């Protein structure tokens, strides 16, 4: 076992929800990720669609027990001293697969070792291990301080989104979609009468394109009076999956250097996308035709290495007023397509 120390930290992270083209959906999850040697541990393992047990939507008592387990103040949930570090974002079934590791004390230090992908009660490190990952030795005082502060703070706050716009039908469909994937949503035209304590529960406010400057300024002033630093979403177009992606992007509170998907831009028949670690990226184009009908086309689905990449776009997919949504397992970005041919 290596005697070298690794740094341990915690950072907010998001598993972005989505409204899928086939009518299905994936749930939005806010959680706290483990940061080892300055990088999210989830990025170091592989391109996983997974969340840590430190999720904001679990009851406070269960959240506290998860922290106690990582501090070795509770019994490991799996044989051989194994603890779940990442699991299925849709359910708690081990059969879906989970990343587990042995956590143990060595004097004052904490050691995480023998990382595996596990689908039943017993792990098989030789067959399903993660070569080259760990063991990690953490200084005990810093490790305990980070987790104790998280426990005392009761984790990440639950967030809601305030929707403001003139197109009631679009707002209703958007609110339904957001609630389906687990994001609390309210619709209003006047935030001045909303109590400050309620405004503090919102993580973002989304404005439709028809909202005037005076109305917008009044809403933002209400948040300012309540002492809320609010994320602002300016809706690109009345396309529900696109608006969901914009809101998911705004709710991602992770520091930009620790995000998997870091940049997206599109012009003409090409898109530029940047990622910070090897991962699967899916890019969908949405466009409005002359009758204001929505069309969606998947234009890319593949694994990209770290860095910036250029992706060719099918001209018919971005004809007219068009937008792109890029997704990884943990994040989403939306951007307009500029310089394309008008329909």
271/187 same-domain check? no
Decide if 129 contacts 114 (C-beta within 8 A). yes
93/211 same-domain check? no
CA distances from 199 to 9, 30, 225 (A): 30, 19, 10
User: Taking CA 152 as the corner, what is the angle to CA 102 and CA 200, rounded to the nearest 5 degrees?
Assistant: 120
167/148 same-domain check? no
Peptide bond into 135 cis (omega under 30): yes
0.85 surpassed by pTM: no
User: Taking CA 139 as the corner, what is the angle to CA 133 and CA 140, rounded to the nearest 5 degrees?
Assistant: 115
243/188 same-domain check? yes
CATH number of the domain where residue 246 is located: 3.40.50.2300
281/212 same-domain check? no
Q: Collect all residues with Cβ–Cβ distance below 8 Å to 158 and sequence separation of at least 6.
A: 30, 56, 57, 184, 201
Cα–Cα distance measured from residue 327 to residue 245, given in angstroms and rounded to the nearest whole number = 9
Considering 89, 119, 152, which residue would you say is the last residue of a domain? 152
Considering 97, 119, 152, which residue would you say is the last residue of a domain? 152
Considering 204, 229, 253, which residue would you say is the last residue of a domain? 253
pLDDT of residue 203: 87
Decide if 204 contacts 158 (C-beta within 8 A). no
- Helical packing angle, 60-70 and 140-152, nearest 10°: 180
Cα–Cα distance measured from residue 289 to residue 283, given in angstroms and rounded to the nearest whole number = 20
249/259 same-domain check? no
Q: How many CB atoms lie within 10 A of CB 308?
A: 12
Chain center to CA of 239: 21
CATH number of the domain where residue 259 is located: 2.60.40
121/165 same-domain check? no
As for how many domains the chain has, the answer is 3
103/130 same-domain check? yes
247/258 same-domain check? no
Cα–Cα distance measured from residue 217 to residue 220, given in angstroms and rounded to the nearest whole number = 5
Cα–Cα distance measured from residue 255 to residue 239, given in angstroms and rounded to the nearest whole number = 28
Decide if 284 contacts 324 (C-beta within 8 A). yes
202/289 same-domain check? no
Q: What is the dihedral of CA 185, 190, 195, 199, to 10 degrees?
A: 40
Residue ranges making up the domain that contains 249:
158-253
46/79 same-domain check? yes
214/298 same-domain check? no
Paired with 207 in beta bridges are: 164, 234
Chain center to CA of 177: 17
| Ramachandran bin of 289, using left for φ above 0, alpha for ψ from -120 to 50, beta for the remaining angles | beta
pLDDT of residue 343: 45
What pLDDT tens digit does each residue of the chain (343 aa) get? Answer: 446 899 999 988 888 888 776 667 888 888 899 999 988 999 888 778 899 999 887 777 888 899 999 999 988 989 989 999 999 988 878 889 999 999 999 999 999 999 999 998 888 888 899 988 989 999 999 999 999 988 776 555 556 899 998 888 889 999 999 988 888 899 887 777 788 888 888 889 999 888 899 989 999 999 999 888 899 999 999 999 999 999 999 988 766 767 889 999 999 899 999 998 888 999 999 999 888 889 999 999 999 999 999 999 999 899 889 999 999 988 899 999 997 554 4
């Amino acid at each position: 076992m290596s005697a070298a120390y690794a740094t341990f930290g915690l950072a907010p992270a998001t598993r972005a929800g989505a409204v899928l083209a086939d009518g299905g959906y994936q749930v939005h999850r806010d959680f706290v990720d483990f940061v080892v040697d300055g990088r999210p541990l989830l990025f170091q393992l592989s391109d996983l669609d997974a969340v840590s047990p430190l999720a904001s939507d679990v009851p406070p008592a269960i959240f506290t027990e998860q922290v106690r387990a990582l501090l070795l103040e509770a019994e490991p949930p799996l044989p051989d001293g194994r603890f779940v570090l990442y699991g299925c974002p849709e359910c708690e079934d081990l059969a879906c697969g989970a990343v587990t590791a042995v956590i143990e004390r060595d004097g004052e230090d904490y050691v995480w070792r023998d990382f595996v992908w596990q689908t039943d009660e017993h792990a098989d490190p030789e067959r399903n291990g993660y070569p080259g990952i760990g063991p990690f030795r953490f200084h005990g005082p810093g490790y305990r301080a980070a987790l104790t502060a998280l426990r005392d703070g009761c984790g990440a706050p639950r967030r809601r989104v305030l929707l403001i716009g003139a197109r009631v039908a679009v707002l209703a469909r958007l609110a339904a979609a957001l609630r389906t994937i687990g994001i609390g949503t309210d619709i209003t035209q006047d935030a001045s009468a909303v109590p400050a304590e309620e405004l503090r529960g919102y993580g973002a406010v989304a404005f439709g394109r028809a909202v005037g400057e005076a109305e917008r300024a009044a809403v933002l002033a209400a948040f300012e009076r309540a002492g809320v630093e609010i994320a602002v979403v300016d809706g690109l177009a009345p396309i529900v999956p696109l608006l969901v992606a914009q809101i998911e992007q705004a709710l991602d509170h992770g520091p930009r250097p620790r995000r998997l998907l870091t940049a997206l831009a599109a012009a003409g028949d090409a898109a530029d996308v940047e990622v910070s670690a090897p991962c699967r990226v899916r890019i969908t184009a949405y466009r409005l035709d002359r009758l204001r009908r929505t069309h969606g086309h998947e234009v890319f689905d593949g694994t990209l290495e770290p860095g910036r990449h250029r992706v060719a776009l099918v001209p018919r997919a971005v004809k007219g007023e068009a937008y792109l949504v890029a997704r990884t397992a943990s994040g989403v970005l939306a951007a307009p397509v500029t310089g394309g041919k008008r329909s």
